[in-house]
């Protein structure tokens, strides 16, 4: 069986598919855990795509220590999905996306990968970006996209926003106002980065939320 969970870079001789799409996970100091998309084709190489922050869409090479979770996608579909991710980056790299906590089930991207901010939404966080991008690529990772409410949803989101406080002190007034609106709206139930990675590791997609939670434990042990 090909290896579907490993720490980048893969060990020499590891049985990694030549073409794959997946999710990467990494720890971000006090900001907790971050996630993004990873995709690889034999012709194009390996790339990561992630929503790093407010209007900060990043595309580049994976870095040492990132945990890679490969999706169970038909090899014939991988180049199509990888191309979609590249097109998504090219169409949105100049502006990126606003940061916020809104449902991954909203229509965030058009069929060609163009960002289409839903009416009334503030923005997306890293895990919402991954889920929305995969859904737009017709490869939904988890169903339903948003889990039931959890008691610590608001607490966790507030703690994440608190980690941005120092950066916001020198930010433009409109950015400060935006994040105040995000803070006022905390509490929506969202999948968490490790759960997104767990979903990618499932045997088939989309997987149930309980499956994503169970597999997230495997990823957590590698952090």
What is the model's pLDDT at position 28? 83
CA distance 41 to 93: 21
The residue-averaged pLDDT of 37-44 equals 95
CA distance 14 to 4: 10
What is the model's pLDDT at position 68? 98
pTM of this structure? 0.97
The residue-averaged pLDDT of 37-64 equals 97
How many domains are contained in the chain?
1
pLDDT at 99 over 80: yes
CA distance 194 to 49: 17
Q: Which helix (H) or strand (E) holds 134?
A: helix 126-136
Residues near 85 by beta carbon (within 8 Å), at least 6 away in sequence:
21, 37, 39, 47, 49, 113, 133, 137
pLDDT at 30 over 80: no
Judge whether 81 and 140 are in contact, CB under 8 Å: no
| Closest residue by Cα to residue 14 from 79, 90, 68 | 68
The residue-averaged pLDDT of 95-114 equals 96
CA end-to-end span of the chain: 23
Q: How does DSSP classify residue 54? A: T
pLDDT at 144 over 80: yes
**Backbone φ, ψ for residue 76 (5° rounding):** -70, -25
CA distance 103 to 21: 23
The residue-averaged pLDDT of 189-200 equals 97
Question: In which domain, by residue range, is 81 found?
Answer: 5-220
- Find the length of the chain: 223
What is the model's pLDDT at position 69? 98
């Amino acid at each position: 069986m090909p290896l579907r969970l490993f720490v980048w870079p893969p060990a020499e001789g590891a049985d990694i598919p030549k073409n794959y799409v997946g999710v990467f996970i990494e720890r971000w100091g006090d900001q907790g855990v971050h996630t993004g998309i990873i995709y690889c084709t034999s012709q194009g190489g390996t790339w990561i795509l992630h929503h790093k922050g407010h209007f900060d869409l990043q595309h580049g090479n994976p870095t040492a220590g990132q945990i890679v979770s490969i999706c169970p996608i038909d090899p014939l579909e991988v180049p199509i999905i990888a191309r979609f991710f590249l097109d998504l980056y090219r169409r949105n790299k100049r502006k990126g996306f606003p940061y916020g906590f809104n449902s991954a089930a909203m229509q965030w991207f058009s069929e060609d990968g163009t960002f289409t901010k839903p009416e009334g939404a503030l923005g997306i966080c890293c895990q919402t970006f991954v889920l929305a991008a995969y859904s737009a690529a017709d490869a939904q990772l988890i169903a339903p996209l948003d889990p039931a409410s959890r008691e610590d949803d608001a607490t966790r989101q507030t703690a994440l926003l608190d980690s941005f406080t120092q950066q916001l002190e020198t930010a433009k007034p409109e950015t400060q106002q935006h994040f105040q609106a995000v803070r006022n709206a905390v509490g929506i139930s969202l999948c968490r980065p490790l759960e997104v990675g767990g979903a990618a590791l499932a045997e088939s997609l989309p997987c149930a939320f309980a499956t994503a939670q169970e597999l997230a434990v495997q990823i957590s042990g590698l952090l």
